[in-house]
Amino acid sequence: MHYEDILNQIGPFGKYQKLLVFALFLVIIPPPFHFIGQVFLAANTDHWCAVPASQMINCSQLQLAECQEEQKSYSIPYEIDDDGNKVYSSCARYVTNDEDVGRNMSLNSTDVISCDAGWEFDHSHYKSTINEDFSLVCDRQDLPAYAQSVWFAGLLVGSLVWGSMGDWIGRRKTFILTVILVTISSIVTSFVPN
């Protein structure tokens, strides 16, 4: 018996098969978004220390980009990279006195402190990332990698547990149970505040 003979015997690709493919399509599409979601959600963007309002320079005559660059040059330590570009520190700022702040201030101190007023982020590529929303930078920059590791550890354990569960109670019941659990946990995760 040949393959074509079997197809003639069972019939063409009908309504039931189309419905089955559509149902499986709805279940198969979301997992890849979970797998690669962190690449986009936790993307590394340029960031620097926010300067407290009391130490902001007066740049009413400047454009926003020029003002930001001048504020950074007065308050953020930098190095010159191999290409001759300024690379501002992401996790430190100069110690300044409130009375020294102004457009023509000169810093005599090279004392730096960690970012005590939060961070500012570059929004040229991403409007918002979880790194910005939850301040996952500097001493907390490893947390997204830990979250990804926990995700894949859960995937490993889940594969073993749910595979065995499918053999024990049946694949259909296990499939429906896991879809319900993933749906509930995904909805709950979207409301996590920190």
In a domain, 20, yes or no: no
Spatial CA neighbour of 28 closest among 188, 178, 184, 147: 178
Determine the Cα angle at 69 with ends 65 and 70, to 5°.
120
Q: Are residues 74 and 88 in the same domain?
A: yes
pLDDT per position as a tens digit, 148-171:
899 889 989 998 999 999 999 999
Identify the domain containing residue 150 by its residue range.
Answer: 28-44+138-194
pLDDT computed for residue 107 by the predictor: 47
> What confidence tens digit (pLDDT) does each residue in 66-82 have?
777 777 777 788 888 78
Within a domain: 5: no
* φ, ψ for residue 106, nearest 5 deg: -125, 135
My answer on whether 114 and 150 are in the same domain is no
Helix (H) or strand (E) holding 3: helix 3-10
pLDDT the model gives residue 10? 79
Q: With a cut of 50, say whether residue 103 has pLDDT above it.
A: no
Query: Does 70 share its domain with 39?
Result: no
Please tell me whether residues 117 and 71 are part of one structural domain: yes
Asked whether residue 163 falls in the same domain as residue 100, the answer is no
| pTM recorded for the entire structure | 0.64
Whether 130 is in a domain gets the answer no
The whole-number pLDDT of residue 168 equals: 92
Q: Say whether both 68 and 117 belong to one domain.
A: yes
Say if 18 falls within a structural domain. no
Q: How many angstroms separate the Cα of 187 from the Cα of each of 29, 40, 82, 174?
A: 16, 19, 47, 20
Q: Mean pLDDT score of the chain, rounded to an integer?
A: 81
Tens of pLDDT, residues 79-100: 887 888 878 888 888 876 654 4
190 and 143 in a common domain: yes
Q: Is residue 33 domain-resident?
A: yes
Between CA 51 and CA 118 the distance in angstroms is: 8
Number of domains, the chain: 2
- What is the predicted pLDDT for the residue at 156? 92
Domain-embedded: residue 73: yes
